[in-house]
Chains A and B, each alone.
Chain A
Amino acid sequence: MDIRFSAEEIAFRDELRGWLKEVLPTLGDPPDSDDWTARRKWDTGWQRMLYDAGYAGINWPSEFGARGSTPTEHLIFLEETTRMGAPYVGMNFVGQLHAGPTLILEATPEQRARHLPAMLKGEEVWCQGFSEPNAGSDLASLSTRAIRDGDHYVVTGQKIWTSFGHVADYCELLVRTDQEAPKHRGITWLICPMDLPGIEVRPITTVAGSSEFCEVFFDEVRIPVENRVGDENDGWRVAMVTFSFERGTAFISELLGTMNQLAEMVDIARNTSRNGSSAWDDDEIRREIGRLQAEYDALWALTKRVVSQAQRTGMPGPGGSVFKLYYADVKKRMADLAHRMLEREALVLAEGSGDEQTGGDMVASRLYVLSLSIAAGTSEIQRNIIGERILGLPKER
């Protein structure tokens, strides 16, 4: 075990920091959260800047136009961009982290040439059409059907939780092409252009009042057969193979952003009066901040362990499910602590991005964290994965 960075890794970090210091001040203010045109321009503009500087697709193999960096360099990249306040991957998420890797592994040369450079340059925004109203944790039971008609699949059904569906150009779409086969063996993976006739996108308003999620309705949408990735009825494997790209880096920006918030909580505590003194002088509050810091530090150490395992073996260790399960819980406790400090002020949601000193963004955060134990595999599913795949306990079914 060696937590020291090599001279090469430090040089990579220094070069990146130099670049960030140069470009971040030129970005201006981020757009309003409900101005989707401006948000698309902001997110894809940042992607283009990454591309021009040679940082786009940092987790992709170098033959596809990116740097081919090691998992440790990817960790450094995410650490520096988060700490220095660079834009988040935003609506480039599906293209960069899911659809892109899937195409690299499974698509034809034509499909790759058509989409991968455009994804890297921020010219294509992708969304994910996996979950359905009746296929959530049990994703493989999805029922959106595709019927072959000559050179086309005719798709009818409904997808849900499609982030940025109303802004995206393409959708990675899972459809059922065989009704009779066992549920995992009748699924096909399609590239679906979002401007085809018969697609209707309806934004969903979340408990936080935001609307990046969408429902997507397909009514006899004709998708060319040449848009299929992998074989017909082999889509479940295609979708799952993407996870082999995972290097334990998925939550780095999220975790480090949370650690920044905890540092802000110290300021909030100092500026919140409590019993004639400040909340910082309240032993219970100060100690809970100390404990949360200990837990975030441990999760950062766990991340470094999983990334190191990925670097050694090409596959991350089992820490990913542990991380997600544990992190969702700790982050909820942090939001609850903010509310104990804020008392009546915890009723007030800040305008826009929020005022750190009054803790307004902490109030919004308390709503946002409700999704952490649900999205990308609920905490209950994570516990099943840990119990069955890691501990070897018997499957329920």
Chain B
Amino acid sequence: MDFELSEDQVALCDGIRDLCQGRFDIDTVRGLADCGGVDRQLWSELADTGVFSLVVPEDEGGVGLGWAEAGLVFEQLGRALVPGPLVGTLLAAEVIDDAVVGFMERPYGPALVEYPEVIDALLVLDRNGVWRVDASELSVEAAQSVDPLTPVGRVDLLPQGEQLMDFCYGWANRAVFLNSALQVGLATGARELAVAYAQERQQFGKPIGQFQAIKHKCADMYSREEVARAALYYAGCVMDVTHGPGLPADPGGYLYFEGCTIELGDTLGDREHQELVRAVSGARILAAEAADHNGKDCVQVHGGMGFTWEIDAHLYLKRAWALTPQFGSLDRHADRIANLVGADPLGHAAPLG
């Protein structure tokens, strides 16, 4: 066991962070609100860097890394507030060639579609499989999003679309995982902004970060973020050793879950499957709550300025609010975990979607 980033993983994080700082500085990101959330040129730079083909095997033209690495990359994208249908575009990379792809669960009634002006296609997940809906098939009515960088539109009835595959359980988990990675990044970015302000802003002749009321709030922000990050990284590792596309068919080695040693082979056993669901849903709950709470605390630490459009605090919070109501509510994820740890394991691990 070595549950700490490898040198390559550290280099990957640094590379993506540098890319974000260079190409997605906050002024650029704010400017993307004027073009539907995606600038094609910047988007293709992300694609050229391999952001969307991370988990596509090398012999199919991808980067050939695992989900743990995808999580690290998405964490950095969230930290930099990079907007756009990031999750859908990565998930779609294996099956279709479109450049900008949304991804959502098929709702029972009317749908709220994100980034409606810029997507080429929308992948829709339902109980019968994964479907591709062409953007031209969508009849979109404008709606105002709470997050200026997550534009949405109303669609009365999502077209059925073209079936790409039978229901694939893994898709929902992967979407939940990537969404959680973005949220951990948001929690980090909000904490960094708050701490920087607490160091610099003076009241009563002192930096406000010297007062325990502010210092302790910042410490709580960091704690939430670190605990969520541990859950996220663990989930990424479980995904990789149980069904990692970038890994050899037989990863070898052993996992150990609560009194049960599992020798890893190339098929996914029930026990590994349970651990996967539990790890992903757990990361989801902690990441979403860390992003929400850190967003709010970041506003609070900034005082009156935190309530202004000018300060970036609201952008973290609003993105968290846009990302949370996707791929199952937090209550549904808590249910999944409870049912797994209850006396009826697996049977009640209701699929999302």
On A, residues with C-beta under 8 Å from B are 1-7, 9-10, 13-14, 72, 75, 83, 262-263, 266-267, 270, 280, 283, 286-291, 293-295, 297-299, 301-302, 304-305, 307-309, 311-312, 317, 319, 322, 325-326, 380, 382-384, 386-388, 390-396
For the complex of A and B, 7 pairs with smallest distance between CB atoms? A290-B338, A4-B253, A294-B282, A290-B334, A298-B231, A301-B234, A302-B230
Picked from A262, A382, A383, A394, the residue with its CB within 8 Å of the CB of B199 is A394
- Bound: A75/B5 CA distance, A: 19
Q: Which of A287, A294, A295 is most buried by chain B, counting CB atoms within 10 A of its CB?
A: A294
Is B236 positioned at the interface, with any CB of A under 8 Å from its CB? yes
Q: Do A299 and B227 touch across chains, with their CB atoms under 8 A apart?
A: yes
Would A393 and B334 count as touching, CB distance under 8 A?
A: no
Q: A298-B231, A393-B210, A394-B199 are in contact. Are A5 and B254 (CB under 8 A)?
A: yes
Q: Which of B30-38, B104-112, B213-221 contacts A (4 or more CB under 8 A)?
A: B213-221
For the A-B complex with A4-B241, A83-B259, A386-B222 known, give 17 more contacts whose Cβ atoms are closer than 8 Å. A2-B1, A5-B254, A7-B254, A270-B342, A283-B335, A287-B331, A289-B338, A290-B338, A301-B233, A302-B230, A317-B4, A322-B227, A383-B212, A384-B212, A393-B198, A394-B209, A396-B210
Contact of B228 among A2, A75, A298, A383 (CB under 8 A): A298
CA distance A294 to B283 in the complex (A): 7
Query: Which of A270, A291, A297, A308 is packed against the most chain B CB atoms within 10 Å?
Result: A297
Would A388 and B215 count as touching, CB distance under 8 A?
Answer: yes
Q: Is the CB of A294 within 8 A of B337?
A: yes
Distance (whole angstroms) from the CB of A135 to the closest CB of chain B: 20
Bound-complex Cα distance A4 to B247 (A): 14
Q: Which A residue sits closest to B4, measured CB to CB?
A: A308
Q: Taking the nearest CB of chain B, how far is it from the CB of A237, in angstroms?
A: 26
The residue on A at minimum CB distance from B221 is A391
Q: Is the CB of B233 within 8 A of A305?
A: yes
The answer to whether B223 and A393 have CB atoms under 8 Å apart is: no
- A293–B241 Cα distance when bound, in Å, is 22
Residues of B232-259 contacting chain A, CB below 8 A: 233-234, 236-238, 241, 251-256, 258-259
Interface residues in chain B, defined as those with a beta carbon under 8 Å from any beta carbon in chain A:
1-6, 9, 68, 195, 198-199, 206-207, 209-210, 212, 214-216, 218-220, 222-224, 226-228, 230-231, 233-234, 236-238, 241, 251-256, 258-259, 261, 264, 278-279, 281-283, 285-286, 331, 333-339, 341-343
Contacts of B336 in A (CB 8 A): 290
Given A266-B343, A305-B4, A393-B210, check contact A294 B222 (CB 8 Å): no
Q: Give the docked Cα–Cα distance between A326 and B238 (Å).
A: 23
B5 nearest in chain A by CB position: A1
Contact across chains for A3 and B241 when beta carbons are under 8 A apart: yes
Given A4-B264, A83-B259, A319-B226, is A287 in contact with B335 using a C-beta cutoff of 8 Å? yes
Give the distance in Å from the alpha carbon of A302 to the alpha carbon of B258 in the complex: 16
Given A289-B341, A297-B278, A312-B2, answer yes or no on A391-B218 (Cβ-Cβ < 8 Å).
yes
Across-interface contacts of B2 in A (CB, < 8 A): 1-2, 308, 311-312
The answer to whether A295 touches B286, judged by C-beta atoms less than 8 angstroms apart, is yes
* Neighbouring B residues of A9 by C-beta, 8 Å: 1, 254
Closest to B6 in A: A1
CA gap between A288 and B341 in the complex, in Å = 12
Contacts of B339 in A (CB 8 A): 290
Find the residue from A83, A299, A305, A392 having the highest chain B CB count within 10 A: A305
Check if A6 sits within 8 Å of B253, measured CB to CB: yes
Q: Are B236 and A1 in contact (CB under 8 A)?
A: yes
> Could you list some 13 contacts between A and B, CB below 8 A?
A2-B237, A6-B253, A7-B254, A83-B259, A263-B341, A266-B342, A270-B343, A290-B333, A290-B334, A301-B3, A307-B3, A317-B4, A396-B212
Which B residues touch A270, using CB under 8 A? 342-343
A387 contact set on B, CB distance < 8 A: 209, 215-216, 218-219
* Nearest-neighbor residue (CB-CB) of A4 within chain B: B253
Docked pose: A326 CA to B222 CA in angstroms:
11
By a CB distance below 8 angstroms, the chain B residues around A7 are 254
Alpha-carbon distance A3/B206, docked complex (angstroms): 45
Contacts of A266 in B (CB 8 A): 341-343
Kindly state the separation between the CA atoms of A279 and B223 in the bound complex, as whole angstroms: 31
Instruction: Tell whether A290 pairs with B335 under 8 Å between CB atoms, given A308-B3, A311-B2.
Output: yes
Minimum C-beta distance from A315 to chain B (A): 12
Given contacts A3-B237, A386-B223, A387-B219, contact A294 B231 (CB under 8 A): yes
**Alpha-carbon distance between A304 and B206 when the two chains are bound, in angstroms:** 38
Pairwise interchain contact A297-B338, C-beta atoms closer than 8 A: no
- Across-interface contacts of B279 in A (CB, < 8 A): 297
State in angstroms the CA–CA spacing of A294 and B332 once bound together: 13
Assuming the A-B contacts A304-B1, A383-B219, A393-B215, are A286 and B338 also in contact, with contact meaning beta carbons closer than 8 angstroms in the complex? yes
Contact A1 B68 (CB under 8 A): yes
Contact A380 B4 (CB under 8 A): no
Contact of A293 with B341 in the complex, beta carbons under 8 Å = yes
- A137: min CB distance to chain B, Å: 12
Chain A residues lying within 8 Å of B6, measured Cβ to Cβ, are: 1
Please, how many angstroms separate the alpha-carbon atoms of A288 and B9 in the complex?
Answer: 34
| B222 & A3 in contact (Cβ 8 Å cutoff) | no
B contact residues around A309 at 8 Å (CB): 4
Contacts of B342 in A (CB 8 A): 266, 270, 280, 286, 289
CB-nearest residue of chain A to B207: A394
Minimum CB distance partner of B331 in chain A: A287
**Residues of chain B contacted by A294 (CB below 8 angstroms):** 231, 278, 281-282, 285-286, 333-334, 337
Q: Are A4 and B227 CB-contacts (below 8 A) given A83-B259, A293-B282, A386-B222? A: no
- Bound-state Cα–Cα, A257 to B326, Å: 34
Within the complex, the shortest CB–CB distance from B28 to chain A, in Å, comes to 27
Nearest CB of chain B from residue A11's CB, rounded to whole Å: 10
- How far, in angstroms, from A287 to B264 measured CA to CA in the complex? 31
Chain A residues near B255: list those with CB within 8 A.
3-5
Min CB gap B97→A, angstroms: 31
Q: For A326, what are the chain B residues with a Cβ–Cβ distance below 8 Å?
A: 223-224, 227
CA distance A317 to B4 in the complex (A): 10
Could you say which of B6, B195, B206, B223 has the most chain A C-beta atoms within 10 Å of its C-beta?
B223
CB distance from A15 to the nearest CB of B (A): 13
CB distance from A86 to the nearest CB of B (A): 14
Alpha-carbon separation in the docked complex, A197 to B6 (Å): 57
Assess the B199–A393 pair: CB atoms within 8 A: yes
Question: What CA separation (Å) do A293 and B5 show in the bound complex?
Answer: 25
